[in-house]
Amino acid sequence: MRGQSLNKILATEKNLSVSRTIYIVKQLLQALAYAHENQIIHRDIKPSNIMICEGDVAKILDFGLAKLLNLNQNPAFTNPGIRVGSPYYMSPEQINAEPVDARSDIFSLGVVFYEMLCGTRPFKADADKNLAQLFYEVLHSSSPKLSAQRSGLPSELDAVVAKMLATEAVARFQNAGEVLVAL
């Protein structure tokens, strides 16, 4: 597949334009909606698992940690109580090793969305130095508003990203389609 990971793009461009970000995020939401409709939860949405191809066509990669819902699974891959994912992008449910559903991927995509617009992740603790502090921030503090990090962003984006990053899953968008409608 020709293209670059979103991780590499963000390393050079820092924050992307609003229109480009929304264009890419909408594609990612459509991909997640399709996966979720087919009972697949990715569980590792992060910039290095997103490929941006020619024309800003976005692809989600690496379903190695995916969870198949409502299927008999090999318990070696999905033991309850096991924490899986990439720390900076893990949802509160993943941090607490609780069952996950589509809302977990929505949270992770919310972190990516924030990073695309602001050039930084919403939770600032360094996972390499203090993983417990990062997890505490995710579980107990609200992410800073987008507008506090980057001026000139539409206020509606604050509300959308804040809802994607809600600590409680019931307060988040319940599925990718709801986020698409909001955008």
In a domain, 95, yes or no: yes
In a domain, 180, yes or no: no
CB of 175 closer than 8 Å to CB of 35? no
Tell which residue, 62, 43, 181, has the closest CA to residue 102: 43
Q: Which long-range contacts (CB under 8 A, 24 or more apart) does 157-163 make?
A: 157/18, 157/117, 161/110, 161/113, 161/114, 161/117
SS3 of 21, please? helix
**Degrees (nearest 5) of the Cα angle 55, 56, 59?**
120
Residues marked as catalytic: 44
60: CATH:
1.10.510.10
CA 58 to each of CA 31, 32, 49, 52, 119: distance values in angstroms, whole numbers, following the listed order: 9, 12, 10, 5, 18
Number of domains in the chain: 1
Residue range of the domain that includes 84: 4-68+79-173
What is the reported pLDDT for 15?
85
Tokens standing for residue 142: 């609200």
What is the reported pLDDT for 158?
92
> In whole angstroms, what is the distance from residue 19 CA to residue 23 CA?
6
CA 105 to each of CA 1, 109, 128: distance values in angstroms, whole numbers, following the listed order: 23, 6, 23
In a domain, 33, yes or no: yes
In a domain, 183, yes or no: no
What is the reported pLDDT for 128?
76
User: pLDDT (tens digit, 0 to 9) for every residue of the chain, 183 residues total?
Assistant: 789 999 999 999 988 999 999 999 999 999 999 999 998 999 899 999 999 999 999 999 987 677 776 655 544 444 555 555 688 999 999 999 898 999 999 999 999 999 999 999 998 877 778 888 889 888 988 888 888 889 989 989 999 999 999 999 999 999 999 999 999
